[in-house]
């Protein structure tokens, strides 16, 4: 009996050790013959390549570590924007899929069936190489909303210029924290006294009011710099000032959002459909208003079904953002696993770091979501 | 009879219903007419109104029209059906109208581009004179999109191999019921070997008087099929083993399966392919060379196996404990229990999940461009840089989009029908 338990484990272990041993041995041998050495010292050397789009200060004189950080931030930027937009769009489409209105329902399911059956890479290429290339040149662009230009070279819009931004930011954080405590207090009050406070409106007031207050008394000031067209040479124009959003970022976010939203929409639909009708009817019959039914009875239960698969979609979106490399958006893969690797030749270290980074992001998101999932799970007695 | 229902506008009496109906239809048609004139003739019949109202006038007209049409129990069947489906409230009327107007706005230019202004005759760029799509481009490049750089004269070899492999795959439908039990063995072990031999000897060539064609020249849609076919076949048994491993009682087996699965699920496919391209050769003994295509297939297989494993684990978990207990009480061992009792039921449960994983795999195949293999999307990117055929990227992407859409959509529909077929009540 015992041998039956030990033998498979020993075989597995042996198998793993042999494979790893074989690979490391070969790797050592190969690196020796090619005169390479293993180590992460190269991270401190100056990178000497430029990156088109960066959230932090960067140029060629900075180190590889800094270049890595630029790539990571760009990846996170796309992921965060994509997650927010895909969630909004997915929720709307998911609800629309259940609409009693025939046209809305069909439009929603057409959208879902259309976008989720086309490879994401193809969609990114389509937006970047076909759709955004059809935009006008800077000199022909029309003014949008009084401040922005949509051109083939990207989206130019007004850039905010802050004075004492840190005070504003602190106020924002304080507002979020106080909303958190207020919501806790309101829930306690509801459980103890049965009174419902208008949580949403008060939270919104705090969220807007407190940061606004800093403008009046904190010395915070906000002005905008607008893009202005300038002629560079005979036939080439560019914009000065303002905020430039590169077309790569637009194409990538657009494709990721439209693609991932289809999956989120299906999750939302499944979540809402997963609630038995009796719940709604019971809630209405004890006198809750339709809004209360949705907020207090349907949503908490639907969220339980929606969240786990949606977490997976967030992870997928983050990992899919690595397709950026295909259209030269400087994300982690392009900057680090692409340019930096070409320059240093440190294949093992760099691919290892890149994979470890994605692994960390994935595990972090799934841990966070597991925690949240546990919090809202049914407390079984 | 509240004021916010505004019912007092409408005639209450049954006899006056027709008046309301006529007003409604007239207003609705006016809205549509106004919009069409705006859109196609560039004429604004409501120019005398102030700007925002004039802009939204088609919407306003139509919504008011729909409001008048909204008669409960009108007795006219079509009208009742219409009201129930697109016109239940003012909000719904606004949404429905917006969608109708959007269709009027978007459909004609799309159709024009696709069909009426498109060119398909001829075989040079100059043949494309219309403002629409240039399908000539697709026609000329069709062979490249299908077979990559594979020599034109040899393409029959790919066709023959595909037909043969399809025939071998279809065997499952025709075998006598006596041999049914061996089918899974056939599909997991024999079929891959047969297909590999066929592909190696016919598509690759080099013997039997066939010219050698190196894998670098393979490409196009046929490469997509080859990569996804082998990855599919291999990732399924591997995923099954991993899923069983993850649920095993033996700690070493369990945690090694767990870390394997979590590792591959945590990294993007593009980095895995990078690894197979630049890092993997370092791990092999000096002088060994494994073909790029095989490396890619192995990488995709390992990657997708982790996802398949998670899907199958879901099915295993969904089975009630009683099934395990019952099998054990019959004296079945671990393998007997799983092969005859647990897996057949669990796999039925996970058909949709497996199908989704396979769809994801097919949609992931274009990524192999990072190692320099050009399937359809890669060929498109190559074709659009051809100096003779600049400026047709839109047609190319639309074409590839349609192909992938048909493949994926039909696969998902097929999986839904399978799900229904194998559904057993419990």
C-alpha–C-alpha distance, residues B201 and B161, integer Å: 10
pLDDT tens digits for range A39-87: 777 777 777 777 777 777 777 777 888 888 888 999 999 999 999 999 9
* Confidence label for B1 from pLDDT (cuts 50, 70 and 90): very low
User: Which has more pLDDT, B250 or A84?
Assistant: A84
User: What is the model's pLDDT at position A331?
Assistant: 86
In terms of Cβ atoms closer than 10 Å to its own Cβ (0-12, 13-18, 19+), residue A331 is buried
Nearest Cα of chain A lies from the Cα of B177 at a distance, in angstroms, of: 35
8 A C-beta contact, residue A187 and residue A208: no
The number of beta carbons lying within 10 Å of the beta carbon of residue B218 is 23
CB-based contact B377 A121, cutoff 8 Å: yes
pLDDT tens digits for range A218-262: 777 777 777 777 777 777 777 777 778 888 888 999 999 999 999
Percent of chain B exceeding pLDDT 70 equals 93
> Hey, which residues 26-55 in chain A have their CB within 8 Å of chain B?
26-27, 29-31, 33
User: What is the model's pLDDT at position B12?
Assistant: 54
Tell me the Ramachandran region of residue B276: left when phi exceeds 0, alpha when psi lies from -120 to 50, beta otherwise: alpha
Does A192 lie at the interface with B, CB-CB under 8 angstroms? no
pLDDT reading at B7 higher than 60:
no
Span between the terminal Cα atoms of chain A, in Å:
38
User: Which has more pLDDT, A25 or B201?
Assistant: A25
* ipTM above 0.90 for this complex: no
C-alpha–C-alpha distance, residues B368 and A20, integer Å: 26
Percent of chain A exceeding pLDDT 90 equals 14
User: What is the model's pLDDT at position A259?
Assistant: 94
CB-based contact A355 B271, cutoff 8 Å: yes
Does B124 lie at the interface with A, CB-CB under 8 angstroms? no
Residues of B in contact with A365 (CB under 8 A): none
pLDDT reading at A132 higher than 70:
yes
Query: What's chain B's average pLDDT?
Result: 80
User: What is the model's pLDDT at position A336?
Assistant: 84
Query: What's chain A's average pLDDT?
Result: 83
8 A C-beta contact, residue B190 and residue B168: no
Q: What is the mean pLDDT of residues B171-193?
A: 74
A21, closest residue in chain B (CA to CA): B283
Nearest Cα of chain A lies from the Cα of B173 at a distance, in angstroms, of: 28
Does A136 lie at the interface with B, CB-CB under 8 angstroms? no
Domains in chain B (CATH in brackets) are 3-116 (no CATH), 136-150+213-421 (1.10.3720.10)
Residues of A in contact with B284 (CB under 8 A): 26, 30
Q: For A143, phi and psi rounded to 5 degrees?
A: -75, 130
pLDDT tens digits for range B25-56: 888 888 888 888 877 777 777 777 777 777 77
Residue among B144, B143, B148, B159 at smallest CA distance from B202: B159
User: What is the model's pLDDT at position A367?
Assistant: 83
* Confidence label for B382 from pLDDT (cuts 50, 70 and 90): confident
A346, closest residue in chain B (CA to CA): B279
* Confidence label for A89 from pLDDT (cuts 50, 70 and 90): very high
* Confidence label for B3 from pLDDT (cuts 50, 70 and 90): very low
CB-based contact A30 B99, cutoff 8 Å: no
User: What is the model's pLDDT at position B4?
Assistant: 45
Q: What is the mean pLDDT of residues A98-109?
A: 88
User: Which has more pLDDT, A80 or B177?
Assistant: A80
Least confident among A109-123, B207-221, B391-405, B410-424:
B207-221
- CATH architecture observed for domain A64-134+246-376: Orthogonal Bundle (1.10)
B268, B382, B389: best mutation site toward chain A, by most A Cβ within 10 Å? B268
Percent of chain A exceeding pLDDT 70 equals 98
CB-based contact B370 A325, cutoff 8 Å: yes
* Confidence label for A115 from pLDDT (cuts 50, 70 and 90): very high
User: What is the model's pLDDT at position A112?
Assistant: 92
Residues of A in contact with B282 (CB under 8 A): 26-27, 30-31, 347-348
Q: What is the mean pLDDT of residues B356-360?
A: 87
Q: What is the mean pLDDT of residues B102-118?
A: 83
pLDDT reading at A14 higher than 50:
yes
A184-199 as b/e: b if 16+ CB within 10 A: eebeeeeeeeeeeeeb
User: What is the model's pLDDT at position B405?
Assistant: 93
* Confidence label for A379 from pLDDT (cuts 50, 70 and 90): low
Does A358 lie at the interface with B, CB-CB under 8 angstroms? yes
pLDDT tens digits for range B264-296: 888 889 888 888 887 787 787 777 777 888 888
Which candidate from A103, A118, A119 shows the least CB-CB separation from B99?
A103
8 A C-beta contact, residue A274 and residue A307: no
Please list the residues that pair with A243 across neighbouring strands.
Answer: A157
């Amino acid at each position: 009996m015992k041998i039956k338990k030990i033998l498979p484990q020993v075989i597995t272990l042996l198998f793993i050790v042999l494979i790893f041993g074989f690979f490391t041995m070969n790797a050592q041998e190969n690196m020796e013959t090619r005169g390479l050495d293993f180590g992460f010292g190269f991270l401190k050397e100056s990178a000497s390549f430029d990156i088109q789009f960066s959230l932090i200060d960067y140029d060629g004189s900075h180190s590889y570590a800094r270049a890595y950080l630029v790539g990571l931030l760009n990846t996170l930027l796309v992921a965060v924007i994509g997650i927010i937009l895909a969630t909004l769009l997915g929720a709307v489409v998911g609800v629309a899929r259940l609409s009693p209105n025939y046209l809305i329902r069909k439009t929603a399911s057409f959208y879902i069936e259309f976008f989720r059956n086309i490879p994401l890479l193809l969609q990114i290429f389509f937006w970047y190489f076909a759709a955004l290339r059809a935009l006008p040149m800077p000199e022909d662009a029309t003014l949008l909303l009084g401040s922005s230009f949509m051109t083939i070279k990207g989206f130019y819009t007004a850039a905010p210029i802050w004075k004492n931004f840190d005070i504003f930011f602190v106020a924002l954080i304080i507002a979020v924290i106080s909303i958190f405590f207020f919501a806790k207090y309101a829930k306690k009050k509801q459980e103890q006294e049965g009174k419902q406070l208008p949580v949403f409106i008060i939270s919104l007031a705090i969220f807007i009011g407190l940061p606004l207050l800093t403008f009046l008394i904190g010395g915070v000031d906000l002005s905008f710099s607008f893009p202005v067209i300038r002629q560079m040479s005979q036939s080439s124009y560019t914009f000065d000032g303002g905020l430039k959003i590169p077309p790569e970022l637009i194409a990538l976010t657009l494709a990721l959002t439209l693609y991932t939203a289809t999956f989120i929409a299906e999750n939302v639909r499944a979540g809402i459909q997963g609630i038995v009708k009796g719940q709604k009817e019971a809630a209405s019959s004890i006198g809750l208003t339709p809004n209360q039914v949705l907020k207090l009875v349907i949503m908490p239960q639907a969220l339980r079904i929606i969240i786990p698969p949606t977490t997976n979609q967030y992870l997928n979106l983050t990992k899919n953002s690595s397709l950026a490399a295909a259209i030269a958006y400087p994300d982690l893969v392009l900057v680090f696993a692409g340019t930096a690797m070409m320059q240093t030749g440190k294949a093992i270290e760099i691919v290892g770091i890149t994979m470890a980074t994605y692994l960390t992001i994935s595990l972090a998101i799934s841990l966070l979501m597991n925690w949240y999932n546990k919090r809202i799970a049914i407390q079984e007695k | 009879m509240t004021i916010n229902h505004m019912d007092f506008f409408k005639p209450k009496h049954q006899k006056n219903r027709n008046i309301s109906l006529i007003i409604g239809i007239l207003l609705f048609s006016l809205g549509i007419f106004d919009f069409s004139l705006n859109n196609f003739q560039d004429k604004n019949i409501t120019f005398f109104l102030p700007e925002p109202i004039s802009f939204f006038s088609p919407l306003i007209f139509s919504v008011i029209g729909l409001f008048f049409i909204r008669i409960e129990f009108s007795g006219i069947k079509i009208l009742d059906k219409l009201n129930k489906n697109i016109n239940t409230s003012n909000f719904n009327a606004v949404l429905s109208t917006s969608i109708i107007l959007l269709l009027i706005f978007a459909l004609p230019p799309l159709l024009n581009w696709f069909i009426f202004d498109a060119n398909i005759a001829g075989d040079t760029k100059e043949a494309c004179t219309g403002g629409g799509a240039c399908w000539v481009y697709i026609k000329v490049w069709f062979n490249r999109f299908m077979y990559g750089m594979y020599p034109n004269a040899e393409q029959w070899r790919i066709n023959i191999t595909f037909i043969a492999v399809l025939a071998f795959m279809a065997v499952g439908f025709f075998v006598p019921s006596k041999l049914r039990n061996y089918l899974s063995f056939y599909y997991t072990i024999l079929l891959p070997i047969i297909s590999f031999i066929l592909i190696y000897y016919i598509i690759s060539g080099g013997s039997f008087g066939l010219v050698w064609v190196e894998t670098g020249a393979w490409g196009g849609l046929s490469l997509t099929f080859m990569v996804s076919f082998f990855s599919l076949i291999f990732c399924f048994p591997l995923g099954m083993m991993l899923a069983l491993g993850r649920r095993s009682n033996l700690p070493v087996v369990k945690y090694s399966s767990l870390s394997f699965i979590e590792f591959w699920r945590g990294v993007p496919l593009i980095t895995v392919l990078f690894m197979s391209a630049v890092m993997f050769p370092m791990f092999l003994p000096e002088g060994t060379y494994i073909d790029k295509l095989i490396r890619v297939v192995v990488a995709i297989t390992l990657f997708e196996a982790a996802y398949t494993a998670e899907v199958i684990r879901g099915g295993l978990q969904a089975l009630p404990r009683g099934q395990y207990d019952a099998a054990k009480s019959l004296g079945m061992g671990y393998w007997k229990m799983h092969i005859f009792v647990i897996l057949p039921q669990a796999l039925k449960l996970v058909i949709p999940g497996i199908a989704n994983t396979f769809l994801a795999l097919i949609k992931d195949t274009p990524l192999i461009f990072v190692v320099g293999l050009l399937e359809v999307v890669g060929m498109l990117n190559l074709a659009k840089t051809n100096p003779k055929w600049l400026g047709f990227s839109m047609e190319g992407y639309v074409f590839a989009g349609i192909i992938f859409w048909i493949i994926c959509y039909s696969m998902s529909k097929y999986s839904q029908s399978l799900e229904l077929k194998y559904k057993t009540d419990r």
